Structure 1
């Protein structure tokens, strides 16, 4: 019975996604762009995280799409299932665009989904390695042979693997326990694992409660080590409806501009508290980003982002996460961001990292 309930729990999000996006649910003359995004629980409901919520509140995208006879349909994806569910939607062509992370997108492309990264994110999400509160470990080598909770196939895996590699080690040197962040944190605090890989403020929440200690993070690591997310589009949809993709991209660039203004900093920080994360932990994680506030929201591709995807593609193939090495040399398509910054008269607002 327990196994059956577990399987059902895993399949429900897929059923929900398929139902929400099913072509049979559209009228023949409906023109809808389906955009998937991560949601977080709040007051018993799931709410879209950060920038997507701002775009919905702003209303500009809905108005511009309506002029073209189109509508945006936002597909909620719980953070606990994230990339795999988005990839199912891309493969089934039930979603057209999605905001999600690096490693899942490479896995999707290896499975035959032709994607383009149309709005890169330089927010450079930090990755953390935390150990139990009573752990004597002071370096990664002290954990050799120990149990580390790591949700495999998720964006933070590649960044952690890069750190492991830099220390002359490999993931096989540890007992990797493949569980999601929630189960992993419970395992750490109960002593069932020795360490856990987390992102953003999660590690600070545990540390501030005296339940864990942060051993390492990407705070001072090269930008290319950090988790990268952004807005991806199916190339098939992009080729068929470039004007619609441009409209969506422009909405995301508008949101990035809004977020990058210092006067909106407190609101942006509050987005990290969805799901009950204390603001103090969000601030600590935010302070670990060396980029100036404005540049954190730059949608302009940087060499570090391309380098990051080069590593992710190679890592996914070497470790068997993909059966072939994905060519990511043409993954980033900056034409839409360049047009958006021009249309919005934002040229020069962000420092172009290519110069």
Structure 2
């Protein structure tokens, strides 16, 4: 397979960038469990005294880029440990809009989520609904293709490439990449020089096997799943970013919950930092714990080693939310016609995270000028 032509590497913005939704709401990464509906999981047992509330409701997706949440919210997980006697009621989401809806309705307090639905929720509420309080993961998305039909970037013309959902993180990334390479695609219909098909992650492998698509821009473990079926990586999204890092999952809290229960948010953030450290120090055990937890979740199935191992390697677990890459991703969405302008100032409140990081003698995380005043 020949290498793709060089791409234009985007430079992170350092000044305030304003962006909001123009048409469809931005979805989350869209690669959760195989369940058709968002489902609650059993409330985790708690021990010790409760914090300022008896219960906290936390959401996440059943996939590798949300492994910090999947592992940390196990009954013996480090997030669970930090919360002490405060019960955790978890809910699995298949797409970001439903998680944002739950948060806006007061049914969810904290969630692991992708960058674009956070932008959507913040912009749609006039900056009143949420704050990004921590990072969780970087990377883990690729353009993988059928080598029999796509041998190089030049072969994308006239081909059918899937993304998980209209306006989701990978959809925006693909549309932006195609635009940079001179391909014209209507952002809403997906029609144009390349056909962009929006297909749920759980359905993409079957579409690939059936020859209905020539490739997909997808996150892990869907990318590794397709490669196990004969696909090849045409482009790792990390190649488009400085240092190969870009936010794929961060942690948001409802603003009202953060105001009323900062100690609970601090416990979750502290658990995230501890869980990420444990994953990075114990990658083999982390894979095993994640896979076991995945198999116990509603609609979840354990992953075979040929999918789990490479998928886990493609994701970096880190505490920094990589705020500048969120800005660039939002700028990309504007350029392809999925976003209009709005003020994102205040989307970040990293005060708790930076306090936790300072205690651990770790570097401070930046907010790209979009922190609370």
Which residue of structure 1 lines up, in the alignment, with residue 109 of structure 2?
96
Q: What is the aligned partner in structure 2 of residue 38 from structure 1? A: 61
Match of residue 312, structure 1, among 299, 308, 329: 329
Kept in 2, the 8 Å contact 1:127–1:159? The answer is no
Aligned equivalent of 2:222, options 157, 177, 202: 202
Query: Alignment partner for residue 177 of structure 1, among 197, 207, 230?
Result: 197
Range moving further from structure 2, 220-229 or 126-135: 220-229
Could you list the per-position Cα deviations for residues 187-212 of structure 1 after superposition, in whole angstroms to 9, with x for gaps in the alignment?
A: 222122222122124333333333x2
Aligned CA distance change for structure 1 residues 230 and 169 (closer, same or farther; 3 Å):
same
State how many pairs are aligned.
306
Q: Which residue of 1 is the match for residue 236 of structure 2?
A: 217
TM-score scaled by length of structure 1 = 0.73
SS at structure 2 position matched to 1:33 = strand
Task: Mark the runs of 5 or more structure 1 residues left unpaired by the alignment.
Answer: 1-9, 21-28, 42-47, 290-295
Q: Is the 8 A contact 1:150 1:179 kept in 2?
A: yes
1:89 shift after superposition: 0.5
Secondary structure of the residue aligned to 2:171 is: helix
The separation in 2 between residues aligned to 1:65 and 1:287, in whole angstroms, is 29
Whether 2:124 is the aligned partner of 1:111: answer: yes
What's the secondary structure of 1:347's corresponding residue? coil
* Residues 1:140 and 2:153 aligned together: yes
Equivalent pair of 2:82/2:267 in contact (CA under 8 Å): yes
TM-fit CA distance, 1:110: 2.8
Report the alpha carbon displacement of residue 101 of structure 1 after superposing the two structures with TM.
0.7
Describe the superposition over 1:86-121 as per-residue Cα deviations: whole angstroms up to 9, x where unpaired: 122022121011001111222222321632111113
* 2:96–2:114 contact (8 Å) kept in structure 1: yes
CA contact (8 A) 1:99 1:232 kept: yes
Pick the aligned partner of 2:212 from 182, 187, 192.
Answer: 192
TM-score, length-normalised on structure 2? 0.70
The aligned residue for residue 44 of structure 1 is: none
Name the SS of the counterpart of 1:268 in structure 2: helix
- 1:258 is matched with which residue? 278
Partner SS for 2:161: strand
Deviation of 1:163 (Å): 2.7
Deviation at 1:225, TM superposition (A): 6.8
Match of residue 249 from structure 1: 269
Select which of 258, 270, 285 maps to 1:267: 285
Structure 2: any 5+ residue segments left out of the alignment?
A: 1-33, 44-51, 187-192, 295-300, 367-373
Change (3 A) 1:90 1:320: farther
* Counterpart position of 1:234: 254
In structure 2, relative to structure 1, the CA distance for the partners of 1:219 and 1:281 (3 Å cut) is farther
Is 1:129 the counterpart of 2:149 in the alignment? Answer: no
More helix by share: 1
> Any conservation in 2 of the 1:96–1:237 contact (CA below 8 Å)?
yes
